[in-house]
Every structure is written in structure tokens, then in C-alpha cells.
Structure 1
Amino acid sequence: MNTFVALCAVGAEKILGNELKHLGFQLVQGNTPGRVTFTGNDDALYLSNYSLRTSDRVYIQMAKYEASDFDALFDGCYRINWQDYFKKDVRVIVDKVRSHKSKLNSEHSIQGMIQKAIYKKLGSIWHITTLPESGSECDVRVYLENNIVTILLDTSGEALHKRGYRTDGGIAPLRETTAAVLIQEMMWRRKTALHDPFCGSGTIAIEANLYAHNIAPGLGRHFAYENLAIYNQQRAVEIKKQLAEQIRTDVECRITGSDIDPVAVERAKLNAEHSCVAAGRALQMIGSDAKIERPEFIVSDFSDLEAPYETGLLLCNPPYGERIGDIQEAEMLYTKMANLFTDFKGWNMGIITSQKTFEQCIGKRAVSSKTLKAGNLDTVLYKY
């Protein structure tokens, strides 16, 4: 069994944990904000990266040990069998170091010591004084908390929110992983109608569509583990085929989106098409020509909308006044959004924003709320 660490938005740890348990992984107690540790066999390397909707990255935990000085830091890193994971032309990058409440607090010095230990170990095992570094880059991350060192090896490469279907996110796109978190937070089910009245690049509707059809979000992209010596291409393809067999092509969904901007709507349609084409390629691997239903997008101001069904979920990411417009414009918009309670009577609503005056502007207190870190912003999902 191997130990892995999955990163996520701060506030999404429970949802990510539920995802991991659903995939059959065992959670390790004592997680910190934005990180969930779990164990799994060798297949977990592929299954987690292909399947996780709410995780930003997946790492192999290479070691965890106490180090109150640089000698201990070096020795613990040197003991790791790095030669089992790297090819001889590897270029190792210690891409991030975080130290908290530890005697070793110079992140630059920690970075240098970890890099030195890795290269010294590889050189000793391979009997070379200088590594060529002509191959692929492999990233290592280090956390020090209360003098406990955790060394992680990246298996994802590009962040997992980059599914591969979104060629253009527009001005202020919502991360795909954040959209997936919102869908889970609202406990949406595929039989329930879903509409996003500020669809932008279509992320919420597309993520809902992937979830409804049980399409693993990582089927259409590559991962950093493909550059590691432990990569088993045959096994990765086998797992990909297993996930393709689990795609539901027999479900009927009512997933829609709208936006006042015609360019945004066209962008959303294109991104949705890309997501379904990627799923189609996965289906072809198992000899299926089945098609995936596309979400529908229309050009409309939210104030002109009427609920197409008696019940459903309205889920949206309206402008915050951060990257689009200003705070005053955002607050005016939220005030106008009060009409949605009349136009979509009988529907549940989920609205995410970073503006603390939202409830005051819309004129109604949420039934509950959830604080989430969306990128660099502290946001709140208001549930009605």
C-alpha cells in the first residue's frame, strides 16, 4: 500500500474525503486544511488522477519524519529510494516549501538541502557525479509543520482543474474543481433540473454533465506520472477502459445555462462539446459509439428567465466586483437577483461570491452557507 496526499480548496476537505472513500481508498486521520491523505495500491496512482473531481493535485508521500536541524532533514530525504521513481535523465525541481512552527524556517535553505539530498542519493546509486537533467521535469514539494517533514512527489503535473476541455475561460472563469465542489455541496442529483444563469464559460453546467453521466474528468489529459519510472502504461490504459465502461449514456439530464454575453454562450457551447468529445474517445476505447448528451446554453439576461420546471437547482457564480466590474456594480446586481426567488419559486439555489454584503443586497438570509477558498479569494456559497 502507498500513501498519497490530495490537495483541494480549503473548506472542501470533507467532500474530497467522500470522493476518495467512494473510490475505495482508505483515509488517513489528521489531515490539515487543503490536504487529504489516503492510502491505496499501485492502481491508486492512475485511478485518483483520472477520477477525482474536487482535488487540485495528487502526490505520493515519499517520507514523513522529524527534523529539527539540517542534518536530520538531509538524512531523512537521502533515505528515500528516489532511484525507484526517477529515470536517469530526470530534472528534479523542489517547486514549493512551506514551514510552519518549525525550527527550520528558511524555505530557500530547506529547498536547497532537499535538492542536494535527492541528487546525492541518485548520483550514489547510479555512480555518476553529475546528472544530465535532459529529460522530463519532476516536481517535489516539502511541508514542515511542528518539526515534522512531509516530502511529496507530484503525480498530476498540470493542476487537476485543467481537464482539457476548456480552451478559453473568459475573463473570470470558475475553476472546474470549484464547480465540482459546489455541485456536491448542493447535493445535486442527475434527475434534478440544473440551471446556471451566469454560465460564462459553462463550467458549472459542464461539470454537472460529467458528474451526471459518471464521466471521470481526467480521461482526456496527460499526467506527470507518465514521466516517472514507476509508470505502467498498460495498467493505466486498463484502468482508463474500466472507467469508460462506467460512463452512463442512458441517462436523461436537464442541465442548462444562460448568459447575457453571446460570446460567453458560444464559448460555453464549445467547451461542452470538447468535454463530450473527450468522453466519446474514451468510449471508443471499449468499442462504443454511444453519444453523450450536451448541456444547453442560451443568450439571456437572468431577469428575463422563467423556471422551465416546478423544481430544480439554480447554481451560479455571478460577478464579484473583483475582476469584472466593481463592488458597487456587483451589489446592484445582487439586489436585482432577488427576483430569482419569484421567477424560480420552488427551486433550491446556490450562489457563490466573495462579497460579504451579498445577503443584505439580495434581501434574504441563506438557509446555510459554506466558506471556500476559490483560487486566491475567500468566497462563501450561500444556500437557499
Structure 2
Amino acid sequence: MNTFVALCAVGAEKILGNEIKHLGYALAGNAPGRVSFLGDNDALYRSNFCLRTSDRVYLQMARYKADNFDSLFEGCYRIDWQDFFRKDVRVVVDKVRVYKSRINSEHTIQGMIQKAIYTKLGDIWRMNSLPESGNQADVRVYMERDEAVILLDTSGQALHKRGYRTEGGAAPLRETTAAVLLQEMMWRRKTPLHDPFCGSGTIAIEATLYAHNVAPGLGRNFAYENLSIYDSSRALEIKKEEASKIRTDVECHIAGSDIDPFAIDRAKLNAEHACTMAGRALQLIGSDMRIERPEFFVSDFENLHSEFENGLILCNPPYGERLGDEFQAESLYRKMGSLISNFENWHIGVITSQKSFENCFGKKASAVKSLKAGNLDTSFYIYR
């Protein structure tokens, strides 16, 4: 069994943990923004293909006591790095995080880990220097209470980059954050869903992938493909297994609207890319079926009305951080009160960084969840 560490938005650890358990893997603890779990060799592929709310998956290479630089170096040197890398590898210690540890210089820790890895590879391969002409391998280090955790990146590009979004507009919502919001609302495919500020269409597209059980990573590549442990035939088998789980027989009512026609054009294009990705996955198992595209149309949110008795409004309206200003955002939030009357008996979920949202909206939320989306501290207001 291997230990993996999946990163997520701070505040989404429980949701990510539930996802991991649903895949059949046992949890091994968590910390703010990350969840550890135990998995077999297949977990390397399946977690990257399937996790909707994780930003990145690491393989834990070692965990050991390190209260000085000698023990930090020795512990890293003991790792069998030669079993994972090719001889032309370029190793980068991309990030170091320190919490309550005696050795606390991130720069020095970074250099020491890099030196330990290259020293080990040079000793094993009898090379004075490595060519570093091949693919990059990223290593991350957590130093917490004098304990070092050494992680090897298996994802490459962050997992929110599914591969379907060509252009996100001025302030796009991360795909992984959209997936978290859907889970927070406990949304199910039979429930109509509408995003009245759809922008590039992320919420509606993520809902479509979830409703049709499309693993979000089926259309992209991963860093594990550059590692010596990569088994291409097994990865393809698992990809086919996940493709066979795609549902093409479900009826959904998923839509998004925006006052900006260019945003709607982007959303339609991104949705087409996402659904085409699912179609290519189905072709791997000999199926020519297709999944239903979400509907996108131009409309001011104040002109919207419910076509169904019940449903979910889920949206990411302008915060005033990158689009407009705080005054404009608060003015918009006051107008958003129309959603309550126009969508009576619907649940509503709104994510924003503005703490004044409830007062402007005119109604106290049933629940408020804190999420760190990107570099912004946001609140998710849930109205049931």
C-alpha cells in the first residue's frame, strides 16, 4: 500500500475525504487543505482521473523526524529515488511549508532536499552530474513539528485544469471549487440547476460531468506518465473502466445564463469541449453515445423565472475584487433578492468574498461555509 496526499481548497477537506472513500480508499488523516489516504498502485491513476474536488495528488515518499539539517538530508537520501526517475530527470523542489519546526528556513530546506535527491541518484547511477535534459519532476516538502513529509507530484498541471476550458474570462471560478459547491449543496442530477452568472460556464459544465458520471480527468495528461513506475497499459485499463461508468441515459435540466453574449459563447464552447472529451472516452470502449450538453442563453438575472417547481440556483456573482468594485458588487447583491421571489421553493447557493452579502441580499443564510478559493478567502452562503 502507498500513502497519497490530495490537496484541496481549505474548508473542503471533508468533501474530498468523502470522494476518496467513495473510490474505495481508506483515509489516513488530514490537515488544512490536504487529505492523506492509503491506496494500491491503481490509486495513482484512479485518483487523478476521478477526484473532482482535489487540486493535486502527491505520492508520499517518506515521513520522518528531522530536527536538524543532517537528519533532514539523511532521511531524504534513504528514499529510493532511482526507482521513480529516469536518468535525464530534472528534479525541482517547488514548494516548502514550515510549521513549528526547529529548522524553519524554507530556502535552506529546499536546497538540502534537492542536494539529497541528486546525491542519491548520482551515487546509485555512478554519475557525477545528471544531464537534467528530460522531464521535470516536482517535489514538495512539509516541515511540521520537526517532522518532514516528502511528496512527489503525480498530477503535473493542477487538477482543476480539466482541459475543456480554453478561455475563462476575467474572473473564472476554479473547476474544483465548482465541484465543491455542488457537493456542499448535496445536488443530485434529477434536480434542475441554473447559474444566473454563468461566465465561462464552469458550474453548469461541472454539474453536467457529475450528472453523467464523467471522471473529470479523462481528457488530460499527468506527471506520473514521466515516472519510471508508470504502467501505460494499466492506466489505459483504468481509463476504460471509468469510461464504462459514464451515464448517457439520464435526463438533466442544467442551464446557465449571463448578460454578456461573449460569456455565453465561451460557455457553449467550453461545454462542447467537455462533452467531446467524454465522447472520446466512450469511444475507448466502442461506444458512439454522447452526453447531453447544458443549455446557455443570454439574459439578465432579474428577467429569469422558474420553469420547475423545485431546483437549485448556484452562482459565483462578481465579488468586486477583479470585476467592478465593492460598491457595484453590493448594488448587485441587493438586486439579487429577486431570485428569492422568482425561484420560490428553490435552494440557492452563492459564493463571494464580500462579507456584506447577507445584509445586501436581504435574507440570512441557512448555513455559511468558508472556502479559500485560489488566493481569495470566500464564503459560501446556502439558502435552503
Asked if TM exceeds 0.5, the reply is yes
Cα distance in 2 for partners of 1:371, 1:117 equals: 39
Shift of 1:276: 0.3
Q: Which residue of 2 aligns with 1:350?
A: 349
Aligned residue-pair number: 383
Q: Which residue of 2 aligns with 1:54?
A: 53
Shift of 1:199: 0.2
Q: Which residue of 1 aligns with 2:20?
A: 20
Q: Which residue of 1 aligns with 2:168?
A: 169
Q: How does 1:78-93 map to 2 (within 5 A)?
A: 78-93=77-92
Shift of 1:277: 0.3
Q: Please list every run of 5 or more consecutive structure 2 residues that lacks an aligned counterpart in the other structure.
A: none
Q: Which residue of 2 aligns with 1:10?
A: 10
Cα distance in 2 for partners of 1:197, 1:250 equals: 27
Deviations 1:180-214, CA, capped at 9 Å, x for gaps:
00000000000000000000000000000000000
Cα distance in 1 for partners of 2:168, 2:307 equals: 27
Q: Which residue of 1 aligns with 2:64?
A: 65
Q: Which residue of 2 aligns with 1:193?
A: 192
Q: Which residue of 2 aligns with 1:142?
A: 141
Shift of 1:42: 0.2
Q: Which residue of 2 aligns with 1:238?
A: 237
Q: Which residue of 2 aligns with 1:180?
A: 179
Cα distance in 2 for partners of 1:276, 1:293 equals: 8
- RMSD across aligned C-alpha pairs, in angstroms? 0.4
Cα distance in 2 for partners of 1:181, 1:367 equals: 18
Deviations 1:48-91, CA, capped at 9 Å, x for gaps:
00000000000000000011100000000000000000001000
Deviations 1:195-238, CA, capped at 9 Å, x for gaps:
00000000000000000000000000000000000000000000
Cα distance in 1 for partners of 2:321, 2:260 equals: 18
AA of the residue aligned to 2:323? I
Cα distance in 2 for partners of 1:350, 1:97 equals: 35
Cα distance in 2 for partners of 1:340, 1:279 equals: 33
* Percentage identity across paired residues of the two chains: 72
SS, match of residue 336 in structure 2: helix
Cα distance in 2 for partners of 1:308, 1:77 equals: 60
Cα distance in 1 for partners of 2:350, 2:110 equals: 40
Shift of 1:308: 1.2
AA of the residue aligned to 1:100? Y
Q: Which residue of 1 aligns with 2:288?
A: 289
Shift of 1:306: 0.5
SS, match of residue 197 in structure 2: coil
AA of the residue aligned to 1:362? F
AA of the residue aligned to 1:104? I
Shift of 1:100: 1.0
SS, match of residue 337 in structure 2: helix
Q: Which residue of 2 aligns with 1:379?
A: 378
Cα distance in 2 for partners of 1:19, 1:96 equals: 26
Cα distance in 2 for partners of 1:306, 1:116 equals: 62
Q: Which residue of 2 aligns with 1:206?
A: 205
SS, match of residue 228 in structure 2: coil
Q: Which residue of 1 aligns with 2:131?
A: 132
Q: Which residue of 1 aligns with 2:219?
A: 220
Q: Which residue of 1 aligns with 2:95?
A: 96
Q: How does 1:98-113 map to 2 (within 5 A)?
A: 98-113=97-112
Cα distance in 2 for partners of 1:327, 1:101 equals: 37
Cα distance in 2 for partners of 1:153, 1:138 equals: 8
Shift of 1:97: 0.6
Cα distance in 1 for partners of 2:98, 2:356 equals: 35
Cα distance in 2 for partners of 1:225, 1:165 equals: 21
SS, match of residue 28 in structure 1: strand
Shift of 1:376: 0.5
Cα distance in 1 for partners of 2:93, 2:366 equals: 44
AA of the residue aligned to 2:316? N
SS, match of residue 333 in structure 1: helix
Q: Which residue of 2 aligns with 1:123?
A: 122
AA of the residue aligned to 1:14? K
Cα distance in 1 for partners of 2:113, 2:354 equals: 41
Cα distance in 2 for partners of 1:216, 1:274 equals: 14
Shift of 1:119: 0.4
SS, match of residue 194 in structure 2: strand
- Give the TM-score normalised by the residue count of structure 2: 0.99
Q: Which residue of 1 aligns with 2:366?
A: 367
AA of the residue aligned to 2:232? Q
Deviations 1:305-324, CA, capped at 9 Å, x for gaps:
00111100000000000000
